[in-house]
Amino acid sequence: MEKEKEKPVQKFRVGSVAASIWKRSNKAPDGKQFVTYQVSLDRTWLDKEGNYHSSNSFGINEVPKAILAMEQAYEFIATKASSEGNGVSKE
């Protein structure tokens, strides 16, 4: 049986820019399980042949969109972590 492809727990899209939130289960040295969230940021575009592409570099016009998507992702994680009793890491 094939392993199902992992999906983000949430995705925030602002135009061509998207911030995807991934949930990670971790184990501390003392054996306790804990959850963290990570964010990936990318932009998509359509080429002349109609094929979609993705990149993690941003032009000047995409920077404000990237900032907004990341702010939305941060708010989601901070709210979720707080409701789960994990707080927000100061990394």
Tokens representing 4?
């199902």
In tens, the pLDDT along 34-68 reads 889 999 999 999 999 999 999 999 999 999 999 99
pLDDT bracket for residue 21 (50, 70, 90): very high
Mean pLDDT of 21-41: 93
CA 58 to chain CA centroid, Å, is 16
For residue 80, the model assigns a pLDDT of: 83
Distance between first and last Cα of the chain: 38
